Structure 1
Amino acid sequence: MARAPLGRQQLLDAARAELLEGDGQVDLHALKRRSGLSTGALYHHFGSKAGLLVAVYEQFHAGLVAAIADDTLPADVSWAERERLRTHHFVAYHFGDPLAELLLNRIVREPEIAELETGGLTRLTAAAGRNIHQGQLDGDIDPGIDADLAGACIIGALRYGIAEQLRRVPRPSTDEAAERLWNVIAGALTL
């Protein structure tokens, strides 16, 4: 992955820190102080404060997509084993990023972020439907299940299930959370 221009990355890093410290809010004066850059740099790189939030979300989502990509999973295992591992990667990514809870529970309400999330969920849902259909073709999943509907339900369960588990006090371990989510997936697909 190409490295972002220095000022841009400084602003992204400062925004992540400010979001965490500000419980989902970014104060421009604090952002300038933390990044050591001017408001002009913010507008140059992102166009607006909303554009900066969009970039933070896009960076988070790109990391998630990379964490659960097919090339991170073994090819020589059953569909269920591979997808159980993918679920674990999904949970580990969210639990490993301190910004995940804010992004999924608070920042996602920002209109620009909500629009991005909708697009991201749509792409993940389509990929899940194709994946389930392939599992049906391979004989691992009941062919009577509507693959596209199951994909939509599973992505919805993952999205809202991980947000709920991130809010829990005490937070479950990565293994516990992944197993809980996998049980929902396995149940939906009658595995």
Structure 2
Amino acid sequence: MARAPIGRQQLLDAARDELVRGNGVMEIAALTRRAGLSTGALYHHFGSKSGLLAAIYDGFYEGLGHAVADAHLPADADWGTRERERTRRFVAYHFADPLAAILLSRTASDPQLTELEAVYIQNMSDNAAANIRRGQQAGQLPAALDADSAAAYVIGGLRHGIAHQLRITPTPTPDQATTRLWHLTAATLGIA
């Protein structure tokens, strides 16, 4: 994996910190001070504040995709066991990243970010639908289940469910949240 150019990664790290500290608000002056770089560096590497935020979204969702990839799941397990593990990894990724609560709870005010997030959510739903179809073909999920609708429902439910779990007090452990959310997912998909 190639290293990011000097300054680019500093800005990304500082921007993530500023978003977390500012509860979703990021001031450019505070960001460049924190990064120890000029505003010109931000525009050089990202083109705009929106470009920087898009890079942060990209990093978050690419990391999530890696965390829940098939390569990390038990290959010889039945569909439900494997997908419960995927759900655990999905939840754990969100609980481990302090930016998750902000990304899940805030609507992006920038149309570019709203569109970008919609693309990532659609990709997750498409992948989930293909996965549900594989479970149906294996006879482990009900054949009558509409895979596309179920996938959209599960992905939306997981995202909103995790956001809720991160907001409540006391905050549950990732395992507690996984159990709660898997129960709902299994019921949606007709898994006993």
- Give the TM bin, normalised by the shorter chain: over 0.9
Tell me the distance in 2 between the aligned counterparts of 1:188 and 1:107: 26
Q: How much does 1:25 deviate?
A: 1.1
The equivalent residue for 1:124 is: 124
* 70-79 or 22-31: bigger deviation: 22-31
Q: How much does 1:114 deviate?
A: 1.5
* 109-118 or 58-67: bigger deviation: 109-118
Q: How much does 1:107 deviate?
A: 5.6
The equivalent residue for 2:29 is: 29
**Match for 1:137: what amino acid?**
Q
Residue 45, structure 1, aligned to residue 41, structure 2: no
Percent identical pairs in the alignment equals 55
Residues 24 and 107, structure 1, Cα contact 8 Å, conserved in 2: no
SS in 1 for 2:150: helix
Tell me the distance in 2 between the aligned counterparts of 1:19 and 1:107: 14
Tell me the distance in 1 between the aligned counterparts of 2:50 and 2:10: 16
Residue deviations 1:114-167 (CA, integer Å, cap 9, x gap): 211110111111111110010011111111111111111111111111111111
Q: TM-score, normalised by structure 1?
A: 0.96
SS in 2 for 1:169: coil
Change (3 A) 1:109 1:69: farther
Tell me the distance in 2 between the aligned counterparts of 1:149 and 1:23: 32
> CA RMSD of the aligned region, Å?
1.1
Change (3 A) 1:111 1:168: farther
The equivalent residue for 1:77 is: 77
Q: Which runs of 5+ in 1 are unaligned?
A: none
**Match for 2:118: what amino acid?**
T
Change (3 A) 1:110 1:172: farther
Residues 107 and 113, structure 1, Cα contact 8 Å, conserved in 2: no
Residues 54 and 113, structure 1, Cα contact 8 Å, conserved in 2: yes
**Match for 2:71: what amino acid?**
D
SS in 2 for 1:187: helix
The equivalent residue for 1:97 is: 97
Q: How much does 1:109 deviate?
A: 4.4
The equivalent residue for 1:157 is: 157
Tell me the distance in 1 between the aligned counterparts of 2:104 and 2:171: 15
The equivalent residue for 1:182 is: 182
Tell me the distance in 2 between the aligned counterparts of 1:172 and 1:97: 15
Residue 142, structure 1, aligned to residue 142, structure 2: yes
Q: Which runs of 5+ in 2 are unaligned?
A: none
Residue deviations 1:76-98 (CA, integer Å, cap 9, x gap): 10000000000000000000001
- Between the two proteins, the alignment pairs up a number of residues equal to 191
